[in-house]
Chain A
Amino acid sequence: SHVVTQAHSVSVAPGQTARITCGGDSIGNIAFHWFQQRPGQAPLLVISNNSDRPSGIPERFSGSNSGNTATLTISRVEAGDEADYYCQIWDAISDHRVFGGGTKLTVL
Protein backbone atom coordinates (compact mmCIF):
# COMPACT_ATOMS: atom_id res chain seq x y z
CA SER A 1 0.00 0.00 0.00
CA HIS A 2 0.99 3.64 -0.32
CA VAL A 3 3.22 5.38 2.21
CA VAL A 4 2.84 9.09 2.76
CA THR A 5 5.41 11.18 4.58
CA GLN A 6 5.20 14.47 6.45
CA ALA A 7 7.71 16.68 8.15
CA HIS A 8 7.68 16.18 11.91
CA SER A 9 7.21 19.84 12.78
CA VAL A 10 6.71 23.32 11.38
CA SER A 11 7.02 26.62 13.26
CA VAL A 12 5.60 29.96 12.21
CA ALA A 13 5.01 33.36 13.77
CA PRO A 14 1.46 34.70 14.18
CA GLY A 15 0.19 36.40 11.06
CA GLN A 16 2.58 34.53 8.79
CA THR A 17 1.82 31.67 6.39
CA ALA A 18 2.35 28.02 7.32
CA ARG A 19 2.88 25.40 4.68
CA ILE A 20 2.63 21.73 5.59
CA THR A 21 3.53 19.20 2.94
CA CYS A 22 2.79 15.55 2.39
CA GLY A 23 4.56 13.37 -0.12
CA GLY A 24 5.04 9.85 -1.32
CA ASP A 25 5.84 7.64 -4.26
CA SER A 26 3.32 6.82 -6.99
CA ILE A 27 0.66 9.13 -5.59
CA GLY A 28 0.49 11.60 -8.43
CA ASN A 29 -3.24 11.36 -9.12
CA ILE A 30 -4.43 10.56 -5.62
CA ALA A 31 -6.58 13.02 -3.73
CA PHE A 32 -5.27 14.23 -0.38
CA HIS A 33 -7.33 15.13 2.66
CA TRP A 34 -6.16 17.10 5.69
CA PHE A 35 -7.12 16.88 9.35
CA GLN A 36 -6.43 19.21 12.26
CA GLN A 37 -6.13 17.68 15.72
CA ARG A 38 -5.84 19.95 18.72
CA PRO A 39 -4.57 18.43 21.99
CA GLY A 40 -7.15 16.20 23.62
CA GLN A 41 -9.59 16.50 20.74
CA ALA A 42 -10.76 14.33 17.88
CA PRO A 43 -9.45 15.13 14.39
CA LEU A 44 -11.33 17.66 12.28
CA LEU A 45 -11.44 17.62 8.48
CA VAL A 46 -10.12 20.95 7.18
CA ILE A 47 -9.45 20.14 3.52
CA SER A 48 -10.87 17.33 1.35
CA ASN A 49 -10.06 16.24 -2.17
CA ASN A 50 -6.85 18.29 -2.29
CA SER A 51 -8.48 21.72 -2.06
CA ASP A 52 -12.13 21.60 -0.96
CA ARG A 53 -12.90 23.35 2.28
CA PRO A 54 -15.75 21.82 4.34
CA SER A 55 -18.44 24.07 5.71
CA GLY A 56 -17.25 26.06 8.70
CA ILE A 57 -13.55 25.91 7.92
CA PRO A 58 -12.01 29.40 7.59
CA GLU A 59 -10.85 30.58 4.18
CA ARG A 60 -7.35 30.88 5.66
CA PHE A 61 -7.06 27.13 5.12
CA SER A 62 -6.32 26.00 1.58
CA GLY A 63 -4.84 22.99 -0.13
CA SER A 64 -3.07 22.03 -3.32
CA ASN A 65 -1.58 18.96 -4.94
CA SER A 66 1.19 18.96 -7.51
CA GLY A 67 2.96 15.86 -8.69
CA ASN A 68 3.94 13.77 -5.68
CA THR A 69 3.46 16.51 -3.08
CA ALA A 70 0.33 17.87 -1.44
CA THR A 71 0.38 21.09 0.55
CA LEU A 72 -1.84 22.47 3.27
CA THR A 73 -1.47 26.24 3.50
CA ILE A 74 -2.65 28.22 6.50
CA SER A 75 -2.61 31.97 5.92
CA ARG A 76 -2.52 34.61 8.67
CA VAL A 77 -1.74 31.97 11.27
CA GLU A 78 -3.37 32.38 14.66
CA ALA A 79 -2.48 30.92 18.05
CA GLY A 80 -5.56 28.68 17.80
CA ASP A 81 -4.11 26.99 14.71
CA GLU A 82 -1.46 25.32 16.85
CA ALA A 83 -2.21 21.62 16.43
CA ASP A 84 -1.13 18.40 14.77
CA TYR A 85 -2.01 18.18 11.10
CA TYR A 86 -2.42 14.87 9.26
CA CYS A 87 -2.68 14.20 5.57
CA GLN A 88 -4.67 11.19 4.45
CA ILE A 89 -5.24 9.34 1.18
CA TRP A 90 -7.51 6.61 -0.08
CA ASP A 91 -5.83 3.62 -1.69
CA ALA A 92 -8.58 2.74 -4.14
CA ILE A 93 -7.08 -0.63 -5.01
CA SER A 94 -7.09 -1.96 -1.46
CA ASP A 95 -9.88 0.37 -0.27
CA HIS A 96 -7.67 1.18 2.68
CA ARG A 97 -7.15 4.66 4.09
CA VAL A 98 -3.62 5.81 4.84
CA PHE A 99 -2.50 8.63 7.12
CA GLY A 100 0.74 10.53 7.07
CA GLY A 101 2.69 10.60 10.31
CA GLY A 102 1.48 14.06 11.26
CA THR A 103 3.08 17.49 11.47
CA LYS A 104 3.09 19.51 14.67
CA LEU A 105 2.44 23.18 13.92
CA THR A 106 3.89 25.49 16.53
CA VAL A 107 2.85 29.14 16.58
CA LEU A 108 5.77 31.10 17.96
Chain B
Amino acid sequence: VQLVESGGGVVQPGRSLRLSCAASGFTFSTSAMHWIRQAPGKGLEWVSLISYDGTNRDYADSVKGRFTISRDNSKKTLYLQVSSLSAEDTAMYYCATDREGGSFDFWGQGTLVTVSS
Protein backbone atom coordinates (compact mmCIF):
# COMPACT_ATOMS: atom_id res chain seq x y z
CA VAL B 1 0.00 0.00 0.00
CA GLN B 2 1.30 3.40 -0.92
CA LEU B 3 -0.30 6.81 -0.49
CA VAL B 4 1.54 9.84 -1.83
CA GLU B 5 0.23 13.32 -1.08
CA SER B 6 1.10 16.40 -3.09
CA GLY B 7 -0.08 19.93 -3.74
CA GLY B 8 0.95 21.60 -0.52
CA GLY B 9 2.94 24.82 -0.33
CA VAL B 10 2.93 28.38 0.92
CA VAL B 11 -0.30 30.22 0.19
CA GLN B 12 -1.64 33.61 1.18
CA PRO B 13 -4.61 33.95 3.51
CA GLY B 14 -7.92 33.71 1.69
CA ARG B 15 -6.49 31.76 -1.21
CA SER B 16 -7.08 28.14 -2.27
CA LEU B 17 -5.14 24.95 -2.97
CA ARG B 18 -5.94 21.49 -4.22
CA LEU B 19 -4.25 18.63 -2.44
CA SER B 20 -3.90 15.23 -4.08
CA CYS B 21 -3.29 11.73 -2.77
CA ALA B 22 -2.17 9.10 -5.28
CA ALA B 23 -2.95 5.56 -4.17
CA SER B 24 -1.45 2.24 -5.16
CA GLY B 25 -1.13 -1.30 -3.86
CA PHE B 26 -4.76 -1.82 -2.91
CA THR B 27 -8.22 -1.61 -4.47
CA PHE B 28 -8.77 2.12 -4.24
CA SER B 29 -12.25 2.01 -5.77
CA THR B 30 -13.64 -0.04 -2.87
CA SER B 31 -12.01 1.90 -0.05
CA ALA B 32 -13.40 4.88 1.85
CA MET B 33 -10.75 7.54 2.36
CA HIS B 34 -9.94 10.30 4.82
CA TRP B 35 -7.95 13.49 5.19
CA ILE B 36 -6.37 14.20 8.58
CA ARG B 37 -4.23 17.21 9.44
CA GLN B 38 -1.67 18.14 12.07
CA ALA B 39 -0.66 21.71 12.84
CA PRO B 40 3.04 22.19 13.65
CA GLY B 41 3.75 20.85 17.13
CA LYS B 42 0.07 19.98 17.68
CA GLY B 43 -2.12 16.90 17.67
CA LEU B 44 -4.03 15.09 14.96
CA GLU B 45 -7.33 16.47 13.66
CA TRP B 46 -9.69 14.49 11.43
CA VAL B 47 -10.75 16.67 8.50
CA SER B 48 -12.92 14.80 6.04
CA LEU B 49 -14.25 11.46 4.81
CA ILE B 50 -15.45 10.22 1.43
CA SER B 51 -17.14 6.92 0.71
CA TYR B 52 -15.71 4.45 -1.79
CA ASP B 53 -17.90 5.75 -4.61
CA GLY B 54 -17.92 9.41 -3.64
CA THR B 55 -21.61 9.54 -2.81
CA ASN B 56 -21.12 10.24 0.89
CA ARG B 57 -18.86 12.98 2.21
CA ASP B 58 -18.45 14.53 5.62
CA TYR B 59 -16.35 17.25 7.20
CA ALA B 60 -15.14 18.45 10.55
CA ASP B 61 -16.98 21.54 11.71
CA SER B 62 -13.75 23.54 11.49
CA VAL B 63 -13.57 23.13 7.69
CA LYS B 64 -17.18 22.62 6.63
CA GLY B 65 -18.12 25.00 3.84
CA ARG B 66 -14.48 25.74 2.99
CA PHE B 67 -13.00 22.35 2.11
CA THR B 68 -14.27 19.86 -0.49
CA ILE B 69 -13.23 16.24 -0.68
CA SER B 70 -13.47 14.30 -3.93
CA ARG B 71 -11.99 11.30 -5.68
CA ASP B 72 -11.31 9.92 -9.13
CA ASN B 73 -11.36 6.13 -8.97
CA SER B 74 -10.16 5.82 -12.55
CA LYS B 75 -7.00 7.70 -11.53
CA LYS B 76 -6.80 6.16 -8.05
CA THR B 77 -6.52 9.64 -6.63
CA LEU B 78 -8.10 11.43 -3.69
CA TYR B 79 -8.39 15.20 -3.57
CA LEU B 80 -9.00 17.95 -1.05
CA GLN B 81 -9.87 21.41 -2.30
CA VAL B 82 -9.02 23.83 0.49
CA SER B 83 -10.40 27.35 0.25
CA SER B 84 -10.65 30.58 2.26
CA LEU B 85 -7.46 29.56 4.01
CA SER B 86 -6.34 31.15 7.27
CA ALA B 87 -3.30 30.73 9.46
CA GLU B 88 -5.21 28.14 11.49
CA ASP B 89 -5.20 25.86 8.44
CA THR B 90 -1.40 25.66 8.44
CA ALA B 91 -0.69 21.96 8.90
CA MET B 92 0.63 18.73 7.50
CA TYR B 93 -2.24 17.11 5.60
CA TYR B 94 -2.33 13.31 5.53
CA CYS B 95 -4.56 11.03 3.51
CA ALA B 96 -5.47 7.67 5.03
CA THR B 97 -7.47 4.58 4.17
CA ASP B 98 -10.59 3.75 6.14
CA ARG B 99 -10.47 0.76 8.45
CA GLU B 100 -13.58 -1.20 9.41
CA GLY B 101 -14.60 -0.13 12.88
CA GLY B 102 -14.02 3.57 12.37
CA SER B 103 -10.26 3.93 12.27
CA PHE B 104 -7.48 4.30 9.72
CA ASP B 105 -5.28 1.60 8.21
CA PHE B 106 -2.59 3.21 6.07
CA TRP B 107 -1.31 6.77 5.96
CA GLY B 108 0.68 8.77 3.47
CA GLN B 109 3.68 10.85 4.51
CA GLY B 110 1.72 14.09 4.23
CA THR B 111 1.90 17.37 2.35
CA LEU B 112 2.55 20.62 4.20
CA VAL B 113 0.29 23.62 3.75
CA THR B 114 1.55 26.92 5.12
CA VAL B 115 -0.78 29.89 5.12
CA SER B 116 1.20 33.09 5.34
CA SER B 117 1.23 36.54 3.83
State the A residues within 8 Å of B (CB).
31, 33, 35, 37, 41-45, 48-49, 54, 84, 86, 88-90, 92, 94-102
Contacts and interface: CB of A to CB of B under 8 A. Distances in A.
A70 to B, nearest CB: 13
Interface in B65-117: 94, 99, 101-105, 107-110
Interface of B: 34, 36, 43-46, 49, 58, 60, 94, 99, 101-105, 107-110
B43 A90 contact: no
B60 A96 contact: yes
Contact of B109 (A42, A54, A90, A97): A42
A45 B105 contact: yes
Contact of A95 (B36, B45, B49, B110): B49
Contacts of B107: 42-44
B101 A48 contact: yes
Nearest to B3: A42
B94 to A, nearest CB: 6
